[in-house]
Amino acid sequence: MTTELQATVDGLVQKGKGILAADESGPTIAKRFKAIGVESTEENRRAWRSLMLAAPGLGQYISGVILYQETLGQRADDGEPLPQLAARQGIVPGIKVDAGKGPLALAPGDEITQGLDGLAQRLEGYRQQGARFAKWRAVYNVSDQLPSRAAIEANAEALARYAAICQAQDVVPIVEPEVLIDGDHTLARCAEVTQAVLQAVFVALHRHGVALEHMLLKPSMVVPGKAHAAQAQPAEVAEQTLRVLRRTVPAAVPGINFLSGGQSPAEATANLDAMNRLGPHPWRLSFSYGRALQDTAMQAWRGEAAHAQLAQQALLKRARLNGAASIGEYGASMEAAD
């Protein structure tokens, strides 16, 4: 029902708060754990995600958390289900529902996201476990030729079908079209691709009857490829990203929660802050970061229960800094502060 969708949106789009992306797939979190010398066992994954959700005061800066399917069924040390632990902190629990990406047939270099089969039935189960919103990620490789028009259209169609299915199940969809940072493309090329991608996404959402008021957008920022010689300053990123958003995203969308997409924690925060300093905007501009929130905390933790408090403090610091950036009140000097 519409009131339930609206209540979820209201819970997610709060001033000074953003979304914690804790939905890494099995292979992805194994890679993150390997970097800190931790084996990716179910218990270690449970301990890590439980530690984050239990961080005292996390709900001051985090309005929602995207969970992985495994996490949705796990419990904290005291037996409390992790979605319930999040909700007790005032954090809306959500769930990643796509089944990952694979090659797009007959389109070398392009990829398509899978997972629409049986989605309605899965969402029904996830709701019973406490999930109130969902996330689906599409990815776009960038070069002089990529992404192809076929990839742009196919991923837009999948995102729109996913969003429509979610809303039919009273689940708020987060629509995530990620223009990848890999490569040596220019800032201008990223802007060109991002505009084409977002235009196609919103045409498809309209075609499938998705209520824009009851969804969130999770886009990448307009940045040069990480191998490009000239990297952009926050003011440039803000100007180019906002230009594309104003051309493509209807004002009916309540919130735009950026992904960090391989930026460093400080870069992701500074770029978000620069955009909010150029407001006001028709949408709430905030964050939905994974690595940019978790990396420093994971480095502090390193799989040691004795380091839990240090890890929580590191997580809270990044959440607080991004909360400030979401209202244009972040300063670089805050990075050095305790």
Contacts (Cβ under 8 Å, ≥6 apart) of 261: 178, 180, 181, 220, 221, 223
Per DSSP, the three-state class of 80 is coil
Give the model's confidence band at 335: pLDDT under 50 very low, under 70 low, under 90 confident, else very high. confident
What domains appear along the chain, each with residue ranges and CATH number? 24-327 (3.20.20.70)
Three-class SS of residue 209?
Answer: coil
Q: In the structure encoding, which two tokens stand for residue 58, read together? A: 């996390």
Q: Looking at residues 78-92, what average pLDDT do you find?
A: 97
pLDDT of 14 over the 60 cut: yes
pLDDT above 70 coverage of the chain, percent? 99
pLDDT band of 127, cuts 50, 70, 90: very high
- H or E stretch covering 64: strand 62-67
Note the pLDDT of residue 115.
98
- The answer to whether the predicted template modeling score (pTM) of the entire model surpasses 0.95 is yes
Distance CA 219, CA 258 (A): 5
pLDDT at 106 (0 to 100)? 87
- b (16+ CB within 10 A) / e for 264-302: ebebbbbbbbbbbeeeeeebbbbbbbbbbbbbbbbebbe
Instruction: Produce one character per residue of 144-154: b if its CB has 16 or more CB atoms within 10 Å, e if not.
Output: eebbbeebbeb
Q: Is the pLDDT of residue 55 over 80?
A: yes
Of residues 286 and 332, which shows the higher confidence score?
Answer: 286
Q: In this structure, is the dihedral angle defined by the CA atoms of residues 335, 90, 26 and 133, taken in order, positive or negative?
A: negative
Cα–Cα distance for residue pair 223/240, rounded to 1 Å = 8
CA 25 to CA 46: how far, in whole Å? 13
Encoding tokens for residue 60?
A: 């001051």
Q: pLDDT tens digits for 168-216?
A: 999 999 999 999 999 999 999 999 999 999 999 999 999 999 999 999 9
Whether the pLDDT of residue 1 is over 70: the answer is no
Q: For residue 24, what are the contacts with CB-CB under 8 A and spacing of at least 6?
A: 32, 68, 290
Q: E strands of 201-297, at which residues? A: 216-217, 255-258, 284-289
Question: What is the per-residue pLDDT for 149?
Answer: 97
Bridge-based pairing of strands 216-217 and 172-179 is parallel
Task: Using alpha carbons, select from 234, 220, 150, 223 the residue that is nearest to residue 184.
Answer: 223
Residue 42: pLDDT band (50, 70, 90) is: very high
Quick one: what percent of the chain has pLDDT higher than 90? 96
Is the previous residue joined to 147 through a cis bond, with omega within 30 degrees of 0? yes
Average of pLDDT values for 29-46?
97
Tell me the average pLDDT across 104-108.
Answer: 91
Q: Compute the average pLDDT of residues 308-318.
A: 98
Decide if pLDDT at 332 tops 80: no
Q: Give yes or no for residue 74 having a pLDDT over 60.
A: yes
**Angle formed at CA 209 by CA 165 and CA 1, multiple of 5 degrees:** 60
Angle at the Cα of 65 (from 170 to 76), degrees rounded to 5? 110
Cα 320 vs. chain centroid, distance in angstroms?
Answer: 17
The pLDDT, as a whole number, for residue 289 is 98
In a 10 Å sphere around its CB, with 0-12 CB exposed, 13-18 middle and 19+ buried, how is residue 227 labelled?
exposed
Which amino acids are annotated catalytic? Answer: 176, 218
pLDDT greater than 90 at residue 25: yes
Question: Which single residue is written with the structure tokens 């924690």?
Answer: 265
Total number of residues shown for the chain: 338
Structure confidence at residue 338 (pLDDT):
57
